[in-house]
Chains A and B, each alone.
Chain A
Amino acid sequence: MQIRFKQEQLQKEDIDSKMRLLIDPDNVFWGLIDREKMDNQAEEKISVLGEKFKSNLDQSMRDFRSKVDVNSVYINPTDRCNANCPYCYIPARMRRSGKHLGTDELTYILKKIDNYFKGSSKKLKFKPMVIYHGSEPLLVKDLIFSSIEKFSKKFNFGVQTNAILLEKKDVKFLKSQKVSVGISLDSLDKKVNDYTRRSQEGNNYDKAIRVLEWFKGYEGLSVITTLTKYNLKGLPKLVEFMHSKRVGCFLLNPVRITRNSVLRLKPKDKELTKAFLGAIKKAVEISKKSKHRIIIGNFSNIILGIVAPSARRLMCDISPCGGARCFFAITANGDMVPCGEFISLEEFYAGNIFKDSIKKALYSKQFKKIRSRIVEKIEECDVCNYRNICGAPCPAESYSANKDLNVKSPYCEFYKEIIKYAFKLIAEDKIKYLFRKEAFKNVKYEYYLKAG
């Protein structure tokens, strides 16, 4: 798909009373000016630099946004779940009575994925990733663990779990296999956590806390906290806690409104922004003093969107997003969907892995439709200076609420504020505290201007 850039001059925007931003919204070239320094030539210097690198940056952004570059597949080995979180994007009937994959079925899927990558013209520089996702994949623990052993030379594996069924020996196995593990914890307040992360036993909190101790210091662990109006209050303490458990990556994800009933959990933009930035400030404060960094992955990814756009890792804040482009998901029934978030939207199903080829799904009209959802098609985003930093997530959210993909994010104001804050941290040279320590040892710059 050809993405047409506007070819405008640099846009000017005051981040606050002291700082002015110059930005090319198409390729995210940016410059920050300290207005108090009264350097009359600063704007000119930045404009000249932007002009010099424009063609390269345009091309790099075009390539990054238009590539179909699948490197990961999410598999739901079961459609069922032992929890009942009110914000889950998987329909309740599926979680209650969906099917499990059998051993032969999972082997068939993994072989088919392996053959797809072997036959692909684009050779990956690393092993493709298979992530067992949910519903709750550990309901079929034996099935997925044996597949991890069997296919360890073919894939890097990940497991996203609510941790309820994790036992100490499982943690040992996952570490030994270098499996990436994501677990969920919404609050340090047990009542709050077990309200949004419900299970029949009501012990989700206790299980998650116990598992965090078992994983302490494991580099492959990430923790997701889903931000709702119920858990904003304790975020700085939660950041401290995650740091004390040496969690490698911590994600603070605003709840996705992929079903109307979830709307009641949505925090107000202002309150969400305040709480989120409070958590970021705490993370910077801790990381400054400690030899271990606490990385808020989704915020660091926003910063990457500014300082190194094509190095972004999480693919939700790119337009088009990573769904149906960098990854796709497979349900336990074998249906191929652009991303797990689309599981309740059957109109985006693109064939079944047991009958259809992966290539056919990738070039189906359903997947193409997701790839054609770009910020330039959204009226408000088309004129926003930050359109290629936030990427207007998420298409599943837009479609669920409006039956239209081309609608801005329900968190638009939140994104604007956190991007402004990201620019402030860049100006204050604090972003090094938001990335892994070793990451900055040999950073190369395409260009670097520091005036005055």
Chain B
Amino acid sequence: MKKCTTKKTGTKAKKASAISYRMKCKRTANGLSHYVPAEKKTLV
């Protein structure tokens, strides 16, 4: 697999004719049904 790269997200995607991406982020905390734990550096 191609080595993953780091990019900034500030690019103006709306000007592109096509866009596709997959972020590599792991769940850093528990997966829950309706609850979000504290003090974790997570996306949500």
A residues within 8 A CB of B44? Answer: 249, 295, 297, 300-301, 304, 313-314, 435-436
B residues within 8 A CB of A219? Answer: 38-39
A residues within 8 A CB of B29? Answer: 126, 129, 313
How far does the alpha carbon of A218 sit from the alpha carbon of B17 in the complex, in Å? 42
Is A446 in contact with B23, judged by CB distance below 8 angstroms?
Answer: yes
Grouping DSSP codes into helix (H, G, I), strand (E, B) and loop, the B interface class, with mixed when no group exceeds half, is loop
Q: How large is the interface on B (under 10, 10 to 19, 20 to 34, 35 or more residues)?
A: 35 or more
Is A447 in contact with B18, judged by CB distance below 8 angstroms?
Answer: no
A429 interfacial contact with B, CB 8 Å? yes
Interface string of B21-34 (1 = CB under 8 A from A): 11111111111111
Known A307-B23, A449-B20; judge A439-B1 contact (CB<8 A).
Answer: no
Which residues of chain A from 160 to 209 have any CB-CB distance to chain B below 8 Å in the complex? 160, 178-182
Is A39 in contact with B17, judged by CB distance below 8 angstroms?
Answer: yes
Output the nearest chain A residue to B16 by Cβ-Cβ distance. Answer: A450
Output the nearest chain A residue to B14 by Cβ-Cβ distance. Answer: A428
Is A448 in contact with B18, judged by CB distance below 8 angstroms?
Answer: no
A residues within 8 A CB of B27? Answer: 310-313
| B24 to A: closest C-beta gap in Å | 4
Is B33 in contact with A316, judged by CB distance below 8 angstroms?
Answer: yes
**A contact set with B: CB distance below 8 Å:** 29-34, 37, 39, 42-43, 45-46, 49-50, 53, 56-57, 69, 71-72, 74, 126, 128-129, 131, 156, 158, 160, 178-182, 218-222, 224, 248-249, 251, 253, 295, 297, 300-301, 304, 307-308, 310-316, 321-323, 326-327, 339-341, 426-429, 432, 435-436, 438-440, 442-452
**B contact set with A: CB distance below 8 Å:** 1-2, 4-7, 9-39, 41-44
